[in-house]
């Protein structure tokens, strides 16, 4: 009958621990790199959040204190334009003039803007909770001579 020879060499514990530490270290490095890549891809674009792009450079948004808004009541509900204008003044806009729109049948609220005022119009839409933003089509509403942005309040 054969007997197994005893294994007289001690197990290389030191080498095993070093190998395990190396595996853990490489795993941590991989996790950190993946997190950095994911954060870099998900980072907000500065042009959308803090300014507009003009000839390849970012121009900061104009402050609310330099923006005039014309608020038009396009839904026929009494006082809604005035209360919205007051709320915009409280948010820091220079002026917010409230009046009635020529037509009171607007189904959707919208923000209209003059050329080169798109970024500020999107900020106004966020401030007022409005989803539709569009450029002025050339036909300026009455009373909008000073206003850079026009907010029309619809039925929604």
pLDDT attached to residue 25: 95
Q: 72, exposed or middle or buried, with CB in 10 Å at 0-12, 13-18, 19+? A: buried
Q: Which position has the higher pLDDT, 1 or 73?
A: 73
Please give the mean pLDDT across all residues of the chain: 86
CA-to-CA distance for 50 and 42, rounded, in angstroms?
16
Selected from 2.60.40.1730, 1.10.540.10, 3.30.70.2390, 3.40.718.10, the CATH number assigned to the domain covering 64-153 reads 3.30.70.2390
Give the per-residue pLDDT at 74: 93
Angle (nearest 5°) at CA 52 between 149 and 129 = 45
Q: What is the spatial distance between Cα 151 and Cα 129, in angstroms, rounded to a whole number?
A: 11
DSSP β-bridge partners for residue 73: 100, 153
Cβ atoms of 65 and 75 closer than 8 Å: no
Domain boundary assignment for the chain: 12-43, 64-153
pLDDT at 6 over 90: no
Q: Under a CB-based contact definition with an 8 Å cutoff, are residues 106 and 153 in contact?
A: yes
pLDDT band at 22; cut points 50, 70, 90: very high
State residue 58's pLDDT score: 79
User: Residue 115 and residue 149: Cα distance in Å, rounded?
Assistant: 10
pLDDT exceeding 70 applies to what percent of the chain?
81
pLDDT given for residue 11 in this prediction: 78
Q: Provide the sign of the torsion angle of the four alpha carbons 83, 84, 86, 90, taken in this order.
A: positive
Distances 17 to 7, 20, 108, 133 between C-alpha atoms, Å: 21, 5, 67, 62
pLDDT bracket for residue 48 (50, 70, 90): very low
What is the pLDDT at residue 156? 86
């Amino acid at each position: 009958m054969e007997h197994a020879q005893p294994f007289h060499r001690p197990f290389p514990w030191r080498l095993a621990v070093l190998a395990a530490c190396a595996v853990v270290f490489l795993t941590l490095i991989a996790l950190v790199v993946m997190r950095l890549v994911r954060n870099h891809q998900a980072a907000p674009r500065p042009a959308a959040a803090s300014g507009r792009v003009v000839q390849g450079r970012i121009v900061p948004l104009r402050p609310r204190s330099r923006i005039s808004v014309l608020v038009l009541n396009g839904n026929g509900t009494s006082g809604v334009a005035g209360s919205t204008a007051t709320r915009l003044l409280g948010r820091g806009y220079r002026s917010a003039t409230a009046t009635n729109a020529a037509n009171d049948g607007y189904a959707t609220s919208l923000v209209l803007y003059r050329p080169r005022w798109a970024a500020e119009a999107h900020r106004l839409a966020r401030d007022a909770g409005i989803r539709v933003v569009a450029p002025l089509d050339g036909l300026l509403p009455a009373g909008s001579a000073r206003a850079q942005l026009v907010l029309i309040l619809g039925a929604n």
